[in-house]
Amino acid sequence: MADEVVLLDLKASPFAARVRIALEEKGITYESKVEDLSNKSSTLLKMNPVHKQIPVLIHNGRPICESMIIVQYIDEFWSQKSSLLPSDPYRRAHAWFWADYIDKKIYPIGRNLWASEGEVRESSKKDLVECFKVLEEELGEKPYFGDESFGYIDLALIPFYSFFYTFEILGELRMVAEFPKLVGWGERCLQKESVSKSLSGQKEVYEVILQIKQKLGIQ
């Protein structure tokens, strides 16, 4: 009996993009059900009653929530396909550390950058610059954060590549000039079909952000 795999999805969400990439990396056929977060479906409220947020992976009727938890589940359940997490315990812990860093830093600071004004915006800009410097140092001269192949850390970070244009326009960051290694890494990741077909375009994300800012009444 074939697995029934459903993703409660949102196209521009970096968190949903992580799950789409993981499913594509594993070659898993799935149904994408796009949610309207201003009018959440009964399925979403039932499958994620705690946070009521996407993404949610529904595998044979059972829900798994939170993007990197879902990615790990996908990696472990469909283990016959190439692994996203390293087998070595130390390298696996290293990957978890950096995925946690990305979750705690890039999204909240990036959101503060485009959703705020004045001192908060300037402070967020400085913080985001420091985060990108840290990530560039970790990347070093490697093609991927997972060394020679695309892996768990790359998958955690690459959806935020779609926000680079937003950071440039609304945050006045100079991504290519200041972070050439990260930009080059992002372009390298996009050469993978699993990534390119799963990510929203940078200008598409920018337009979504402008719509959110308008709804929030932010100049």
Share of the chain residues as helix, strand and coil, in percent rounded to the nearest 5: 60, 10, 30
45 and 114 co-located in one domain: no
Residue 18 lies in a domain: yes
152 and 194 co-located in one domain: yes
The phi-psi region of residue 166 (left if phi > 0; otherwise alpha if psi is between -120 and 50; otherwise beta) is alpha
pLDDT one-digit tens code per residue, 160-183? 999 999 999 999 999 999 999 999
pTM of the model: 0.95
Residue 84 lies in a domain: no
- For residue 20, what are the domain limits? 5-78
Separation between Cα atoms, residue 55 and residue 12, nearest integer Å: 11
Residue 95 lies in a domain: yes
CA distances from 115 to 15, 106, 131, 158, 213 (A): 18, 14, 18, 21, 7
Reply yes or no on whether the pLDDT at 209 is more than 90: yes
- Over residues 138-156, mean pLDDT: 95
Phi, psi (5° rounding) for residue 217? 70, 30
CATH value at residue 9: 3.40.30.10
Q: How many structural domains compose the chain? A: 2
pLDDT one-digit tens code per residue, 43-84? 999 999 999 999 999 999 999 999 999 999 999 999 998 899
Which one-letter DSSP state was computed for residue 76? H
pLDDT one-digit tens code per residue, 91-125? 999 999 999 999 999 999 999 999 888 899 999 99
